[in-house]
Amino acid sequence: MVVAKQNRTGRRAFLKAGGLVAAAGALTSMCVPTPGGGATHVHAHKRAWWIKSVNRPTLGETTPNFTRFSGRDMFALYPELKNQHDGEGSFEAEMKSGEKRAAQAMNERKPGFTLPDLQLTGGAWTLMHSTKPGSGLLSWTRVSVRTPAELGTARHTAPPQEMANLVKAAARLYGAGLVGISPMNEAYVNLKQPGDDAHQPPKDIVFEDVEVPAVTGTQFVIPMKMKWAVTIAIPMDLDLLSRAPTALGDAASALGYSHSVFVVASLAEFIRGLGYQAIPMVNDTAQSIPFAIDAGIGELSRLNKLVTPEFGPAVRLCKVFTDLPMACDKPVDFGLVDFCRHCKKCAEACPSRALSFDDEPSFKIVGPWNNPGHKTWFEDSYKCFQYWQKSNSACAICLTSCPYSKGDQAWIHEGVKAAASTVPVADAAFRAMDDAFGYGKQRAPEDWWNKEQLSGRKG
């Protein structure tokens, strides 16, 4: 009897085909061009495939109404705050007052306010508190690096993409979690800021046609030839941050600031060592978030803060202005704005109800602390600040509640973020799953010292 040969795929053939498909997939993913990529000897840092480069920011793009702002003007807007400090309405006065309140909480034996908790934060602030804009590590001129001329050579030159890759590689070595480059935008630069002496009036920040940056008695002078901004995101310790609102939780922010100082100071010296000018800064001198959006580090969110695809909003931002010509990055879209429309978890978690519950972002500001001229979910900074005073801490609950703030140990987070980026109809389901799995909850401060400490983003 003759049996016709069946046209059926056998197990061996099936597994073989599967292996070939997997190998082809792996090779393809290695060859896909990524934002900021380039064929240079320093390889560009690859980001996940679901983070797409776009020509315009998804949210936060400025209009002609957007003008330069003065970050420290906020205290002038709060007569109540001024009265609390004998008429001295300043950030420094508020910091001192906050320290007194934290000490009182320690004496009342509140969890998260023990002496070790307070001093952990005190230690973490060391680098940040030992410098001021334009001086010390944040000097606008060379600190210690030797210039190419001193080494008997010319300044380093290379194509813009290669220069960008060099700077990014250096920034990552110094501790940057994410780094991006954008063109200078003068509208993002503050109008004024205090100098070394907090009792003196703030100095003007001006752009002038000069060769080197300068800090004079009345001005911070930025050379007009500084046409590039390198923006850096420093990830904060998520486990420590989840102990907020306590003095212990504040250590995560404090350490983020001090890391920022180290990274931008080191990067500025690296750039100066190549033969160019560089101005390092943390929160000072310019608004970090719009530069970070333009540089593709993340998107603007319901928090009215930057959310990065990798670390969520739990990052500190810092930047370096320079005249070193580099290829710029583009803004990114990873589906965050759609996700924020549905999620609202941060607004629900905020104890002071300072965050917007509106479905759509708008141009309508909440108070004079907001800089108009861009579309976002504006926040009530005054309510937020009042809760800082009430809780004797810098809070940060919104940062840990965000579904994008996740550890880096469970692979499923990456899959969910990729799905949220590509299948926005599932955003509500992802938010519900985030709640069901118990993510975004604050942790008890008491056990932080007793547990085996986890490094980096594990927690």
Partner 1 sequence: MANGPEIYTITIRKRRWWAWTVAALWLMAELLFLQTAMGSMIEGEYRAATISWIVAAVFLAAGLVAWLGPHRPRKPENAQP
Which C-beta is closer to partner 1: that of 50 or that of 66? 50
Determine if 459 is a binding residue for partner 1 (CB under 8 A). Answer: yes
Exactly one of 8, 56, 109, 199 binds partner 1 (CB under 8 A); that residue is: 8
Candidate list 95, 410, 423, 428; residue touching partner 1; CB under 8 A: 410
Among positions 30, 154, 425, 436, the unique one binding partner 1 when judged by CB under 8 A? 436
CA distances from 106 to 189, 233, 242, 298, 346 (A): 39, 32, 19, 37, 28
Extract the runs of DSSP E, i.e. beta strands, from 331-404: 332-333
Selected binder of partner 1 within 10, 64, 87, 217 (CB under 8 A): 10
24 part of the interface to partner 1, by CB under 8 A:
no
Which residues contact residue 308 at a Cβ distance below 8 angstroms, ignoring those fewer than 6 apart?
A: 177, 178, 233, 297, 298, 315, 404
Q: Is 455 in the site for partner 1 (CB under 8 A)?
A: no
Count Cα neighbours of 455 within 13 Å in the Cβ-side half-sphere: 0
Least Å distance, CB 376 to partner 1, is 30
Report phi then psi at 210, rounded to 5.
-125, 165
Binding segment (CB under 8 A) for partner 1, from list 27-35, 60-68, 169-177, 408-416: 408-416
* Binding residues for partner 1 restricted to 335-354, rule: CB under 8 A: none
Q: Is 146 helix (H, G, I), strand (E, B) or coil?
A: coil
Neighbours of 369 (CB within 10 A): 20
**Torsion angle (degrees, nearest 10) of CA 443, 241, 354, 68:** 180
179 φ, ψ to 5°? -145, 140
362 touches partner 1 (CB under 8 A) = no
**Which span (11-19, 62-70, 201-209, 212-220) binds partner 1, by CB under 8 A?**
11-19
32 near partner 1, rule: CB under 8 A: no
| CB nearer partner 1, residue 155 or residue 451 | 451
Q: Minimum CB separation from partner 1 for residue 447, in Å?
A: 10
Backbone phi, then psi, for 43, in 5-degree steps? -75, 140
27: how many CB neighbours lie within 10 A of its CB? 9
Interface with partner 1 (CB under 8 A), residue from 3, 30, 31, 154: 3
**5 near partner 1 (CB under 8 A):** no
Helix (H, G, I), strand (E, B) or coil at 170: helix
Which residues does residue 82 pair with via DSSP β-bridges, in sequence order? Answer: none
Q: In terms of DSSP bridges, do strands 228-235 and 219-223 run parallel, antiparallel, or are they unpaired?
A: unpaired
CB nearer to partner 1: pick between 358 and 408: 408
Give the integer Cα–Cα distance in Å for 259 and 264. 9
Q: Residue with structure tokens 């939780």?
A: 249
Stretch that binds partner 1, among 94-102, 203-211, 284-292, 407-415 (CB under 8 A): 407-415
Q: How far is the CB of 426 from partner 1 (least distance, A)?
A: 17
**Which one of the spans 12-20, 84-92, 161-169, 358-366 is the region binding partner 1 (CB under 8 A)?**
12-20
DSSP β-bridge partners for residue 286: 189
Q: Interface with partner 1 includes 11 (CB under 8 A)? A: yes
Q: Compare residues 290 and 445 and give the one whose CB is closer to partner 1.
A: 445
- Residue 189 pairs in a beta bridge with 286
Q: Which stretch binds partner 1 (CB under 8 A): 7-15, 162-170, 218-226, 349-357?
A: 7-15
CB of 14 to partner 1, least distance (A): 5
- The one-letter code for the residue type at 213 is P
**Shortest CB 248 distance to partner 1, Å:** 15
Q: Can residue 26 be called a binding residue for partner 1 (CB under 8 A)?
A: no
Nearest to 263 by CA among 230, 218, 293, 239: 230
Q: In 10 A of CB 429, how many CB atoms?
A: 14
The DSSP call for residue 453 is P
| # chain residues binding partner 1, by CB under 8 A | 27
For residue 9, state whether it binds partner 1 (rule: CB under 8 A): yes
What are residue 332's phi and psi, to 5 degrees? Answer: -120, 160
Closer residue to partner 1 (CB): 237 or 294? 237
Min dist CB 369 to partner 1, Å, is: 35
Chosen residue from 148, 348, 439, 442 binding partner 1 by CB under 8 A: 439
* Burial of 109: CB neighbours in 10 Å, binned 0-12, 13-18, 19+: exposed
Minimum Å distance from CB 440 to partner 1?
A: 10
Which residues form the interface with partner 1 (CB under 8 A)? 1, 3, 6, 8-11, 14-15, 18, 239, 406-407, 409-412, 415, 436-439, 443, 451, 454, 458-459
